[in-house]
């Protein structure tokens, strides 16, 4: 049994990853998370119980430990990485709209934080997998079939994507200059349970569930390449198991490329809601599309969710069943959006 350190494991994708990794590996998992506004220890509820309640909790008992801390804390990273065999790095400031309001936190966590983690990995020789985004490639024109591949040049648009691009470059430099054992994945837009209500899909679902209209930025013609969070995470597990050191893998589900307007219309259809157009995002990326053929070809990975409507219906059901999880933060998020006319 090895030890896996999961940074950002109390966030959306990280907490879903911890759940999946417990089922697919024998590793003990240590989660390190700063618990920013986006991190929620309740996302790991039930998983940590084993540690707190001892042996009665069955085979998972004692396998998840939670440490509250900042990945930019070099001393803490050194201590945590020292006992880890594998590090899976999800921790980040992740929301584009926030990066337009307060870029400093993005530089701190995404760049300085990744640097601190890399130095610890270099010192202790752990295997690292770095989680990144399709947004590092910039955007594609609407109405073409062009996709991002692993060799598409980086051209990030927002402070968020620029800091993620910076973190990817740091990882590659540490591989080449210092020989660390690291892989990188760049994934498209995720959706699914436990996603913060600031993000597009959960914002619209919870708008409608609270009697508000869904809010579409600008014309809604922008296109995103949606993937269910479980498909992102099964790809990460495949890379951890079979990936080649030093390599980068694009992750995407090849679901039909859909415009934001089409997604909002689907959500309205599933919930009986309505939508309105609001102020556009400054510098709004037009289209993302991933070519994930390397992952499919080399690692044999396949997505489980291939029908966006079905994945959205399941996600709507989750938000309906977990009102307690989101209702406390919903009004605050909407107040903040209202300040930018969104
Ligand atoms: P999230 O915002 O839901 O979660 C981020 C987590 O990181 C939170 O728990 C937060 O508390 C924690 N965190 C933030 N700053 C920290 C710090 N300094 N130290 C320790 N912990 C800190 O984000 P997410 O959507 O789950 O994204 C996870 C990762 O996946 C990010 O690296 C993001 O760039 C990447 N990604 C996200 C998407 C997407 O669609 N959401 C797509 C591709 C890649
Ligand atoms: O209320 C909204 N209305 C709207 O039309 C919100 C919140 C968003 N949008 C639009 C903007 C985007 O075109 O929907 C699209 C998706 O928006 P976000 O959920 O903010 O995602 P995006 O900016 O595409 O970035 C996401 O995917 C890549 C994640 O937040 C990133 O962490 C990831 O790297």
Q: How far is the CA of 247 from the centre of ligand 2 (A)?
A: 27
Examine the residue annotation and report whether 160 is marked as an active-site residue of this protein: yes
Q: Looking at residue 62, what is its pLDDT?
A: 65
Strands 86-89 and 64-68: unpaired
- Lowest mean pLDDT, pick from 49-58, 119-128, 280-289: 49-58
Q: Looking at residue 128, what is its pLDDT?
A: 98
pLDDT tops 50 at residue 57: no
The structure tokens listed for 211 are 């009697």
pLDDT tops 60 at residue 36: yes
Q: Looking at residue 1, what is its pLDDT?
A: 79
**pLDDT band, very low/low/confident/very high, at 83 (cuts 50, 70, 90):** very high
- Say which CATH topology domain 3-198+227-254+287-308 has: Rossmann fold (3.40.50)
Q: Looking at residue 39, what is its pLDDT?
A: 98
Q: How far is the CA of 62 from the centre of ligand 2 (A)?
A: 36
Q: How far apart are CA 283 and CA 322, in angstroms?
A: 34
Residue located via tokens 């934001």: 260
Q: pLDDT for 174-229, tens place per residue?
A: 999 999 999 999 999 999 999 999 999 999 999 999 999 999 999 999 999 999 99
| 131 touches ligand 1 (CB under 6 Å) | yes
Active-site residue identified among 93, 135, 168, 254: 135
Active-site residue identified among 33, 97, 134, 225: 134
pLDDT tops 50 at residue 2: yes
**pLDDT band, very low/low/confident/very high, at 61 (cuts 50, 70, 90):** low
Examine the residue annotation and report whether 56 is marked as an active-site residue of this protein: no
Q: Looking at residue 195, what is its pLDDT?
A: 98
**pLDDT band, very low/low/confident/very high, at 54 (cuts 50, 70, 90):** very low
Q: pLDDT for 119-168, tens place per residue?
A: 999 999 999 999 999 999 999 999 999 999 999 999 999 999 999 999 99
Q: Which atom of ligand 1 is nearest to the CA of 39?
A: 9
Pocket test of ligand 1: the residue of 18, 71, 92, 189 to mutate, having most ligand atoms within 8 Å of its CB, is 92
Q: pLDDT for 289-341, tens place per residue?
A: 999 999 999 999 999 999 999 999 999 999 999 999 999 999 999 999 999 99
Q: pLDDT for 234-257, tens place per residue?
A: 999 999 999 999 999 999 999 767
Of the listed ligands, the closest to the CA of 13 is 1
**pLDDT band, very low/low/confident/very high, at 55 (cuts 50, 70, 90):** very low
């Amino acid at each position: 049994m090895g030890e896996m350190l999961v940074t950002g494991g109390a966030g959306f994708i990280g907490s879903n990853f911890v759940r999946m990794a417990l089922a697919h590996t024998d590793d003990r998992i240590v989660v390190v998370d700063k618990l920013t506004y986006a991190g929620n220890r309740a996302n790991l509820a039930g998983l940590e119980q084993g540690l707190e309640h001892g042996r009665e909790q069955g085979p998972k008992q004692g396998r998840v430990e939670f440490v509250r801390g900042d990945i930019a804390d070099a001393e803490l990273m050194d201590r945590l990485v020292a006992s880890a065999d594998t590090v899976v790095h999800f921790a980040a400031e992740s929301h584009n709209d926030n990066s337009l309001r307060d870029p400093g936190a993005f530089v701190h966590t995404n760049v300085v934080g990744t640097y601190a983690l890399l130095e610890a990995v270099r010192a202790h020789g752990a295997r690292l997998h770095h989680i990144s985004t399709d947004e590092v490639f910039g955007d594609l024109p609407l109405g073409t079939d062009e996709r991002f591949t692993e060799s598409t040049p980086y051209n990030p648009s927002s402070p968020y994507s620029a800091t993620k691009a910076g973190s990817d470059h740091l990882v590659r430099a540490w591989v080449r200059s210092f020989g660390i054992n690291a892989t990188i994945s760049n994934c498209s837009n995720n959706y699914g349970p436990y996603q913060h209500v600031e993000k597009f899909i959960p914002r619209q679902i919870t708008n409608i569930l609270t009697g508000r209209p869904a809010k579409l930025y600008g014309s809604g013609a922008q296109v995103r390449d949606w993937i269910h969070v479980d498909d992102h995470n099964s790809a990460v597990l495949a890379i951890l198991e079979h990936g080649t050191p030093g390599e980068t893998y694009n992750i995407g589900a090849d679901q039909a490329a859909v415009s934001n307007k089409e997604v909002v219309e689907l959500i309205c259809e599933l919930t009986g809601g309505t939508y309105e157009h609001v102020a556009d995002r400054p510098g709004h990326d037009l289209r993302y599309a991933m070519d994930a053929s390397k992952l499919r070809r080399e690692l044999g990975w396949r997505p489980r969710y291939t029908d966006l409507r079905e994945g959205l219906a399941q996600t709507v059901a989750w938000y309906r069943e977990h009102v307690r999880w989101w209702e406390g933060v919903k009004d605050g998020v909407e107040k903040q959006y209202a300040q930018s006319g969104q």
